[in-house]
Chains A and B, each alone.
Chain A
Amino acid sequence: MQMPDPNPAILARKAELVARLREVLPADAVISDPAETRAYECDALTAYKCPPLAVVLPASTQEVAEALRICHEMGVPVVPRGAGTSLAGGALPTADSVILGVARMNAVLETDYDNRFIRVQAGRTNLSVTGAVEEQGFFYAPDPSSQLACAIAGNVAMNSGGAHCLKYGVTTNNLMGVTMVLMDGTVIELGGAHLDAGGYDLLGLICGSEGQLGVVTEACLRILHKPEGARPMLIGFDSNEVAGACVSDIIKAGVLPVAIEFMDRPCIRATEDFAHAGYPDCEALLIVEVEGSEAEIDAQLALIEEIARRHDPVELRQSRSEEESARIWLGRKSAFGAMGQINDYMCLDGTIPVSALPHVLRRIGEMSREFGLDVANVFHAGDGNMHPLILYDANRPGDLERCEAFGAEILKLCVEVGGCLTGEHGVGIEKRDLMRCQYGADDLAAQMDVKDVFDPAWLLNPAKVFPLDASSARRAA
């Protein structure tokens, strides 16, 4: 993975930069000792590491603005960082960059149940947003699997999803407003406790822009009352095609489950060995969860069962209790842990049209044999967001490269069948060089035009999202 060479002029001015940052930030909010900056050398894409020049940990919008103004004046790149859980390298530093971490900004600023929103500082973790409102029976819907650790700032940057977005949408559908600092230190407000934009939908534009357009310091988030209850059903099939057809039929029948999760045989076997959830040994397994009152849940599960029976399932299990629900979810929730026990793995994130599911799974199986690497599939089937896990051995020379090459082929396949490179993890550095598979030169130019408007000097997270050779002229300008 190529990153731009650090600018020696910036490296040479480190002492001056740090001194200026210390004038506007508390002493403990500016980190420049290489022994300490190393803690920020990577995010959850740990294959790539580079300690930053310095780290700032502001505690308010004002401090963020001061820090950005200084970096802007000195022409120093800034890499915003939420909780550092990006799987795409979204928070990977360069040696000449300042990491701007928002972890200290984690306060709840306002909760309003009548108007159904919560306003938080952007460093607050996803799960603790729900934690702040659950006593009143409310929750914040987007639930990325890293939700215990990940920050709202990163969720907004990557437009994060989760298992329940089939019904509730992703971050952009639940984000009502932000306070954001532009690279030159200007503070702007977009949206708020009201709906929709009065001019251009800049809120929609910045959500998912991977920290390249501004630093979000506060967010106004939609909260919802929790459903009365939720219960899953487990359905096993002896072929991926049949399982895919069943997903399609469920959706066509007018039921909108809150989640439809799909696991293939390699994934079922691995999780069974690890978690002993009692899953059937079959080709494909669906977990379908519905919400509502007891009677509403019964009715929806009965309808789903009727549809599933037309497809000759090898196993069909409706949960009748919380304990049974927990057992059904146990294997799915331990899937990643189970894979980690076996091997190192790379988790992909392409999305495909649901109708292409059988074809894509078959091709992945063929490619797995060609590359000599095992792959297990676990994903959100209702919306086609796949998570193939490629197993490799980081200690074996050449394995990582082979794994990355295999991953790139899978993502190209996703685009070929009408899908996209990333459904919820973001481009970062990981998929940066594949962007031309999905977008033409004009498509990318239009996106980079937006970057030019918000950050003309390309100082915010500059080496991400766009192929380096595509952005080089703009970065140098």
Chain B
Amino acid sequence: MTPRTEAELAAIIREARAPLRIEGGGTRPIGGPTNGARLSTSAMRGIALYEPGALTLVVGAGTPLAEVEAALAAEGQRLAFEPMDHRGLLGTEGTPTIGGVVAANVSGPRRVQVGACRDFLLGVRFVDGAGRIVRSGGRVMKNVTGYDLAKLMAGSYGTLGVLTEVALKVLPAPQAAASLTLRGLDDTRAIAALARALGSPFEVTGAAHLPGKGETLLRIEGFAESVAYRAGRLRELLAGFGTVTVEDDPEAVAACWRDIRDVAAFHGRAGDVWRLSVKPTDAPGIVAGLGGVEALHDWGGGLIWLLAPEGRGQAIRAAVAARGGHATRVRGTGADAFHPRPAPVAALEAGLRRRFDPRGLFNPGLMDGTREGA
């Protein structure tokens, strides 16, 4: 089913008698198995409003991400949260949509500096499981009128409602960018170097550590003189960690951070892929304690991508639970893709599910642990 309008969508949902599998472009099959009839948002597309001078974009949920990015690029702007493309990592094909980005709260390396997708979400329209058309937030940058249901929808993977339209804050694309690289640091020293840079006034917009390549990377962006100045200051600041090399060719910098964003190092390789969100300085200990896994570090250490053999879930979850954070299996099989929540939090999530999807239609089983008794 591919409704063309919000009203059509609401009618389909009201008349539905069996579970639905909500899909944008189908490129991010993250979560537990879900066996409903396919319901695609792809026909609810198009840019409804774009005001570059107000940094505001309102767009149909089914609009291809590429179309959004092209429209922004034409005005020298971009989605600052840098949503990753999951196709390479998950072996999927299809066209990523902006609604899918929001539903999965997808961000990239710049999340560490500017915030996640949810931080740029100004408002949403969605249809809930009762067929109610609901609007929350709006199109302006500051809005505390009522509860922030937009945040609730971001990252709820279509289990609370089907997004039909999203309003996003966009930002100017910078004139220049540069990558700074340190080589040969072990994980602990690397995360310490990234922390030093992120704790400086030089506005680092990417901070990754790739143990496989032996590279520790920083990104800075802005006006050309500013990038050159900050590169110099960071090089001084990090002198104790070794020699810093600077790459400022725009295409090389873009390619380097696109690979980090999309976890290119794990493409086409066997094993489960896990995504861990932790306190950055905990990252080296978690990875060392697990053994037998391959890791990539982004967000200054706060995001760990793990390539692990099947069946390591319990050990990974235990390592994260001991220190605080959460682990999501983004590739692999099983019903436990999402991190279990403590009982009172799971009860709140289950209560929200009952209110927004009383008949349990939307992606049942996808975000396990959100249902009572799960």
Which A residues fall within an 8 A CB radius of B? 112-116, 137-138, 158-159, 161, 165-166, 169-170, 172-173, 182, 186, 188-190, 192-205, 207-209, 225-228, 247-249, 251-256, 292-293, 295-296, 299-300, 351-355, 380, 383-385, 418-427, 431, 435, 438-440, 442-447, 449-454, 465
Contacts and interface: CB of A to CB of B under 8 A. Distances in A.
Given A196-B155, A256-B171, A354-B53, A420 B140 contact: yes
A405 B148 CA distance: 27
B155 A197 contact: yes
A225 B142 contact: no
Given A165-B142, A169-B115, A228-B201, A193 B149 contact: no
A197 B192 CA distance: 24
B243 interface: no
Contacts of B128: 446
A361 to B, nearest CB: 16
Contacts of A425: 144
Given A353-B140, A383-B141, A438-B145, 19 more contacts: A194-B325, A195-B299, A196-B105, A198-B326, A199-B338, A199-B367, A207-B148, A225-B199, A254-B173, A353-B51, A354-B51, A354-B54, A421-B145, A424-B144, A425-B144, A426-B144, A431-B145, A439-B146, A446-B128
A424 to B, nearest CB: 6
Nearest to B302: A195
B355 interface: yes
Contacts of A116: 195, 198-199
Contact of B53 (A170, A355, A424, A454): A355
Interface string B69-113: 000000110000000000000000000000000000101000110
The 9 closest A-B pairs by CB, nearest first: A204-B151, A198-B326, A248-B53, A423-B142, A453-B351, A254-B172, A198-B339, A193-B279, A383-B141
B151 A201 contact: yes
Interface residues of B, number: 84
Nearest to A291: B201
B225 interface: yes
B374 to A, nearest CB: 11
Given A208-B147, A296-B225, A354-B53, A443 B154 contact: no
Contacts of B225: 295-296, 299
Given A197-B155, A254-B174, A446 B134 contact: yes
B352 A355 contact: no
Given A204-B118, A299-B225, A383 B172 contact: no
A225 to B, nearest CB: 5
Contact of A200 (B140, B145, B195, B370): B370
Contacts of A454: 348, 351
B135 A439 contact: yes
16 contacts: A112-B279, A166-B141, A193-B279, A194-B326, A197-B105, A202-B152, A225-B201, A228-B201, A254-B174, A254-B223, A296-B225, A421-B145, A438-B138, A450-B152, A450-B355, A451-B147
B142 A293 contact: no
A424 B229 CA distance: 36
A419 B123 CA distance: 11
Nearest to B107: A196
B212 interface: no
Contact of A209 (B133, B147, B155, B277): B147
A353 B139 contact: yes
Contact of A114 (B152, B195, B223): B195
B352 A226 contact: no
A16 to B, nearest CB: 28
B13 interface: no
Given A353-B140, A383-B142, A454-B348, A198 B338 contact: yes
Interface of B: 51-56, 75-76, 105, 107, 111-112, 115-116, 118-119, 128, 132-136, 138-149, 151-152, 154-156, 160, 171-175, 192, 195, 198-201, 223, 225-226, 229, 277-281, 299, 302-303, 324-328, 338-339, 341-342, 344-346, 348-349, 351-352, 355-356, 367, 369-370
A197 B339 CA distance: 10
Nearest to A247: B53
Contacts of B145: 420-422, 427, 431, 435, 438-439
B148 A195 contact: no
Contact of B325 (A172, A192, A226, A446): A192
A353 B56 contact: yes
Contacts of B138: 418-420, 438
B342 to A, nearest CB: 7
A70 B214 CA distance: 58
Nearest to A158: B144
Contacts of A195: 111-112, 116, 277, 299, 302-303
A115 B141 CA distance: 28
Please indicate which of the listed interface residues B142, B160, B200, B370 has the most CB atoms of chain A within 10 Å of its own CB: B142
